[in-house]
Amino acid sequence: MEDKQRKIIIKRVKRMAHGQHGGSWKVAYADFVTAMMAFFLLMWLLNMTSQEKRAVLALYFKHFSLFEKGGKSFMSEGGLRPSGLNYGGEEVIESGENSSGITNDELAVKLMTGIEEGAPSASQQVFIAVTEEGIRIQIVDTRENPIFPVGSAQLTDNAKTIIKTITSVIKNFPNEIAVEGHTDSTQTKSEQMSNWELSIARAGSARRELEQSGIDPLRIARVSGFADKVPLLMELPNDPRNRRISIVFMKNKRLKPPDKLEWLMKPPA
């Protein structure tokens, strides 16, 4: 009785003829062909593009972030800088033309192109931002390539090379220049030199190197030290990148100083 109540299930397997494997391979092949077309198109564009435009593209994708709003010049919103870095609360602005008749974008590209050629190993240590005051060039310290020995105001060879490369570009324009020194929050071991004195001494060393590299001393408008009060990375006060030199290529051209006779007769306003 139990044998009669059992159900018999017959499973039929449909076998495909030899050589029939569906169409999934066509999708994979189409993706491969599309990728190859995109690759060769990119190679052709790079070959047809000037060196400076290639630098713009490389720098744009190097620092591009999907989480930042788009639709602006690649120099806006902080310019050429790693995401997450601030500049002591200083407002960054849209790229525009400065008093030298060259746009900030063009000058920044010339700077970065020169650094890539003159000091390629230091390209990760130079960041550029367009601010209300002008183009701010940040030369930051790293553990691998310091710009100053610990506790010293003596520039390393690496820092001198970077400054000379920057000078080769900005010396061709008449704008005034400001030099600033910064430290991290680690206190110096010397009782005679605090972070204030150290930052000022480092800014002075950078100024001398700028002048020795070809900058007219009359173009230096300000040399100042900020100790650890304006960190690059506020959340990481001891990060070595907070130890840096800022070179500000100011928007205005160098003003002609008043005649000395006028100073004797009437104090300058």
CB 139 within 8 A of CB 162: yes
Q: Burial letters for 93-132: b for 16+ Cβ neighbours within 10 Å, e otherwise?
A: bebeebebeebbbbbbbbbbbbbbebbeebeebbbbbbbe
Q: Which DSSP helix (H) or strand (E) runs through 111?
A: helix 104-118
Which fold would CATH assign to domain 74-253?
60s Ribosomal Protein L30; Chain: A; (3.30.1330)
> In the prediction, which pLDDT does 77 show?
38
Question: Burial of 152 by CB count in 10 Å (0-12 exposed, 13-18 middle, 19+ buried)?
Answer: middle
Q: For residues 73 and 63, what is the distance between their CA atoms, to the nearest angstrom?
A: 13
Query: For residue 136, how many other CB atoms are within 10 A of its CB?
Result: 24
Q: Burial letters for 211-220: b for 16+ Cβ neighbours within 10 Å, e otherwise?
A: eebebeeebb
Instruction: Write out the DSSP string of 18-56.
Output: TT---SHHHHHHHHHHHHHHHHHHHHHHHHHS-HHHHHH
Position 90: which residue type? E
DSSP assigned state of 151:
T
User: Within a 13 Å sphere around the CA of 226, how many CA atoms are in the beta-carbon half?
Assistant: 18
Q: For residues 53 and 156, what is the distance between their CA atoms, to the nearest angstrom?
A: 31
Q: For residues 148 and 61, what is the distance between their CA atoms, to the nearest angstrom?
A: 30
Region of 218 please: left (phi>0), alpha (psi -120 to 50) or beta.
alpha
Domain boundaries, the chain: 74-253
pLDDT in tens, the chain (269 residues): 555 566 676 666 666 555 555 667 788 888 889 999 998 888 887 777 666 566 656 655 554 443 344 444 433 433 444 333 444 444 444 445 555 566 777 787 788 888 888 888 777 898 888 888 888 999 999 888 999 998 899 999 999 999 999 999 999 888 999 999 999 999 887 777 899 999 999 999 999 999 999 999 999 999 999 999 999 888 899 999 999 999 999 987 655 554 544 444 444 44
Question: Burial of 255 by CB count in 10 Å (0-12 exposed, 13-18 middle, 19+ buried)?
Answer: exposed
Q: For residues 262 and 116, what is the distance between their CA atoms, to the nearest angstrom?
A: 46
